[in-house]
Structure 1
Amino acid sequence: CGRHLLVSYLRTSNRSDSRHSWAILALLVKFIRQYWPNTRIVFRGDSGFYRPRLLSWCDRNNVDYLVGISKNSRLLKDVEAPSKLVRDTHQKVGDKIAATYRFRYQARSWKYPRWVVARLEEGELGSNPRFVISSRYDDGFKLYYEQYCARGDMENRIKDQQLYLFADRTSSVQWWTNQWRLILSGFAYTLFERLRAHLKKTPFERMSASNLRLKLIKVGAVIIRNTRRIRVLMSDSYPYKDELTDLVRRLVPG
């Protein structure tokens, strides 16, 4: 949800990508609506989270969704005409051309049709269509590029936790041990997010956890303690001394 971590859940390697996603989503929706009953909730995920029963649950519980769906022969047939227009335009101008096309589609496992947004792209390597299922009737460009593609920032947050906060250290043969390590990594991520909250309107606001740790946390200093005070002496060549001083002042209670 934005930059905030909601769940840290580890699947076993022999389970599907969307294992337990339905149950987790139901718990999150129940919790959110206890405190914010009128908040619009949007479930967004790639094609790994496409499950017809999950979408039906969202429809019944007033949860909007933007979920990718793998291309198939029926979807490709439905976009033949707009795909030809994109292809012809590419042949005329020579540059990569992309457009969106919104249409109604019903798979065999669906009880009713849903809106599908097709991203049609034509370039030097040929056509590259992508499809997204949407619960809302809205502009195709807005749905795909502004809302669905925004999940790329979420992927960066996941990478932040995996690479720099050691969420990938799951080498134990016991599932619970690895899950506990993932939870600890989630705690660390949450602490960094709270740190970023005190760094608004500074160059550090959107830095990765790796850069924050390198520039503001892993800092060499000499600590001198006596009966009256504790002094922290930093090197004059440390380039972020003023920023760190301001951050410490913000973190001091009162």
Structure 2
Amino acid sequence: MPNCTEKTQTSKIEFGRLGRRVVEGRFDGGSMTSDAGVMLLGATDRRLGLINAAARCIADPRDPLLIKHTVVDMLRQRVYGLALGWEELNDHGSLRQDVAMQTAVGVDADIASAPTLCRLEKWTNRSTAWRLHQVLVEQFIASFKAAPEELVLDFDATDNPLYGQQEGRFFHGYYDSYCYLPLYVFCGQQLLCAYLRPSRIDGARHAAAILKLLVTRLRQHWPQVRIVFRGDSGFCRQRTINYCERAGVNYIIGLARNARLQGITEFMELAMKEAFEHTGVKQREIGEFMYAAQSWAKERRVITRLEYGEQGNNPRYVVTNLTGAPQALYDDLYCQRGEAENRIKEAQVGLFATRTSCQQFQSNQLRMLLAALGYVLIERLRALALKGTKLATAQVDTLRIKLLKLAAVITRNTRRICLYLASNWPSADIFAHAMRQLRSP
């Protein structure tokens, strides 16, 4: 008796009628794909050498004489699948026979099954994660043709909800759930760090150490580069500030509200309240003063943004060692850190970095880094191939729908693999342009 999958693939599906004609379908079209856009991902990957570099970070414990699917092929399969929207390992039970996926991966036969990919996740350890993060940083450095004058490093922590009994699982009061507490570091739209942490820690844990490692490597390559550390009040820690000042790193960090800070701005807030009550117009002021918390050895510059409106008083405080007008520093620099939250959403939602359902903590770290590699592919695809097109700033969900999800009939013989792409596809010109850009010297 055929199983459910076999029955679905061979049985007729009725769609109704169009005039006198019956409309029906079957899952027996042969070598067809809905993911011909995977060829763009493959071209981007080979242009960067990204997955080849990542594969060298994973120690393969198998007997070399018995290997059928190499680590680099499995990583390509897994990362391309995430970028295409196939987040479940079980999806590869069918995808392994997709000729477009096989071609992009670089093989001429069935690629790895779901159980084989699952075993790959068990080969990882802390040193694997360290080496994969080095790949992210080296890829970032290689993306510049000339030395940058300034790099702004955005540090941000977020939650990664858990629903099983994963190793390192703890309840977090702020997020009101069991979760991990990953730390991300972005520079603009580029990802430098995707570090998985248990949630039973301070949100700034390891941030100073990671900053030191990044600054050291970036200055090895660009000795004169100006580096700015940017983060919210969760990263305002004495250790981080002290390191920045010793290492000549600029910083602009949120400062949590407290009674002393409010006492300094109290009279201004009262004046703004009176002005709002008199005019009905929301009041906003940006100023600065020198301030030292009890744990600080000296006073530091604090920029304050005060607002008073229908919701009442809404102060914000930022500590910095940067020079310049306070309004420009707050509005044009500090507030731009919110863009990192969009990038985190793209990695976690669009590329499934939250799919940390493995029992072992380090396996979940690998899953997060696979999503990070997928993010790098998408970001570099935008930068290298889509510049000047209407998809140049599109997020991964939009790119997936408008560029990667492409129907094709595929023929493969001894001389040629041919993809017969959809004739009336709206993104055909952009797709062709992108491939030309990726294949140009």
- TM tier, smaller: over 0.9
SS at match of 2:331: helix
Distance of 2:231 and 2:206 partners within structure 1: 14
Partner SS, residue 205 of structure 1: coil
CA distance in 2, matches of 1:248, 1:187: 20
Q: Does residue 219 of the first structure (1) align with residue 400 of the second (2)? A: no
User: Is 1:206 paired with 2:417?
Assistant: no
**Structure 2 CA distance for aligned equivalents of residues 184 and 95 of structure 1:** 49
Of residues 199, 204, 209, the one that matches 1:23 is 209
**Structure 1 equivalent of residue 304 of structure 2:** 118
The structure whose RCO (Cα within 8 Å, separation 6+) is larger is 2
Change (3 A) 1:155 1:61: same
Return the offset for 1:224.
3.0
Moved more, 171-180 or 43-52: 171-180
For 1:73, give the aligned amino acid. Answer: A
Q: Does 1:12 align with 2:198?
A: yes
Q: Deviations over 1:65-124 (max 9, x none)?
A: 011111000000111222233223322331322221111101110000001111101110
RMSD: 1.4
- Partners in 1 of 2:233 and 2:352 — Cα distance? 26
| Whole-Å separation in 2 of the counterparts to 1:186 and 1:214 | 20
Equivalent-residue separation in structure 1 for 2:221 and 2:438 (angstroms): 28
2-side partners of 1:85 and 1:182: how far apart? 49
Letter in 2 for 1:50: C
SS of match in other structure, 1:8 = strand
Write out aligned runs for 1:126-165 (5 A): 126-165=312-351
Residue aligning to 2:229: 43
Task: Identify unmatched segments of 5+ residues in structure 1.
Answer: none
> Which residue identity does 2:380 align to in structure 1?
R
Runs of 4+ in 1 over 6 A off after TM superposition: none
TM-score (normalised: structure 2):
0.56
SS of the residue aligned with 1:6?
A: strand
Aligned to 2:253, what secondary structure does the other structure show? Answer: strand
Contact 1:82 1:101 in 2 (8 A): no
**How big is the shift at 1:136?**
1.7
What CA distance in whole angstroms lies between the structure 1 residues aligned with 2:369 and 2:234? 23
Residue identity in the other structure for 1:167: A
Structure 2: gaps (5+ residues) = 1-186
Conserved in 1, the CA contact under 8 Å of 2:411 and 2:418?
yes
Please say which structure displays the higher CA radius of gyration.
Answer: 2
Matched, 1:75 2:261: yes
Q: Output the CA distance in 2 between the equivalents of 1:225 and 1:245.
A: 21
- Counterpart of 1:90, as a letter, is F
Q: Which moves more between the two structures, 224-233 or 183-192?
A: 224-233
User: Which stretch of structure 1 is more off in the superposition, 23-32 or 202-211?
Assistant: 202-211
Residue 430 (structure 2) pairs with residue 248 (structure 1): no
Secondary structure of the residue aligned to 1:101 is strand
- The corresponding residue for 2:426 is 239
- Whether 2:289 is the aligned partner of 1:103: answer yes
Structure 2 residue 385 is the aligned partner of structure 1 residue 194? no
1:9 CA drift (Å): 0.3
Q: Distance in 2 between matches of 1:79 and 1:173?
A: 50
What amino acid sits opposite 1:169 in the alignment?
R
Equivalent pair of 2:386/2:430 in contact (CA under 8 Å):
no
Instruction: Report percent identity of matched pairs.
Output: 44
Partners of 2:322 and 2:436 in 1: how far apart?
Answer: 46
